[in-house]
Amino acid sequence: MCLVGFAWNCHPRWRLVMAGNRDEWHARPTAALAAWRDAPILAGRDLRSGGTWMGLGPQGRVAVVTNVRDGLPAPFDGPSRGALPTNFLAGSATADASAEALAARANAYAPFNLVLADAASCVHVGNHPAQGMRPIVPGVHATSNGPFDAPWPKVHRLQTVLQDWAGRDNESLEPLWAALADTRIATDSELPATGIPIEMERHLSSAFVAGQDYGTRASTLVLVDHAGHGRIIERRFGPDAVFLGETTLESGH
């Protein structure tokens, strides 16, 4: 997951609305959004490591993880970041308690941003550039592959759309899908410096990344109401942004 925005406790109908894109190599084996047989999780699944990037659990528990880009990825043989959302969604610990426990051992993982939400709280945990946790205040937030609050162009655009959508109490999800499908490239003056070649920075600067080998594999919306009922919707894409299908699942209390 390389771009995510969310509205936390600022919408009259939904306590949490989350919209995100997962960018990944198209060759990496992945299962579509489904109810998992081995855990009470609604999510897509990375079939290489067994984890997920964004999912919905019981009582409206939600989790999402992004990697943090700092140059070209170095070889890493530690635990998978995909286990971080999975552990929370399948567990019973609160978002605050889960974040506090993880913050103490966050450096065991490759760089990441993790957002956890339950009925009572929403919290961010990260380990690069600094290790720690922070509560998320009610409002609209967004992040990508940099520090949690880094105002990258695609982060700012998604946050702006989500804020406008939440403020209008809009029932249509199309503005959110359109924001996730945005292929605009940032100008060179707006590009972050994350240690990769500028051609790659340009290519990755759009909300939706289209490519033959690497690109946006899934666009996902999660909506949880104030009673804890949730809905998760996934649109899937193949090489060169070919649409592969859409799945919607719902969860109760």
Could you please report the per-residue DSSP string of 149-181?
Answer: T---HHHHHHHHHHHHHHHTT----HHHHHHHT
Q: How many CB atoms lie within 10 A of CB 191?
A: 16
For residues 47 and 70, give the distance between their C-alpha atoms in angstroms, rounded to a whole number. Answer: 25
Helix (H) or strand (E) holding 98: helix 95-103
CB burial of residue 239 (10 Å; 0-12, 13-18, 19+) = middle
Structural domains of the chain, ranges and CATH numbers in brackets: 3-251 (3.60.60.10)
Low-confidence ranges of the chain (pLDDT < 70): 1, 74-75, 253
The pLDDT score that the predictor gives to residue 253 is 59
Q: Encode pLDDT of 107-141 as tens digits.
A: 999 999 999 999 999 999 999 988 899 999 999 99
Instruction: Give residue 187's pLDDT.
Output: 97
Q: What pLDDT is attached to residue 11?
A: 93
Chain centroid to CA 28: 18
237, 243 contact by CB (below 8 A): yes
pTM greater than the 0.75 cutoff: yes
Q: How are beta strands 3-8 and 42-46 bridged, if at all? A: unpaired
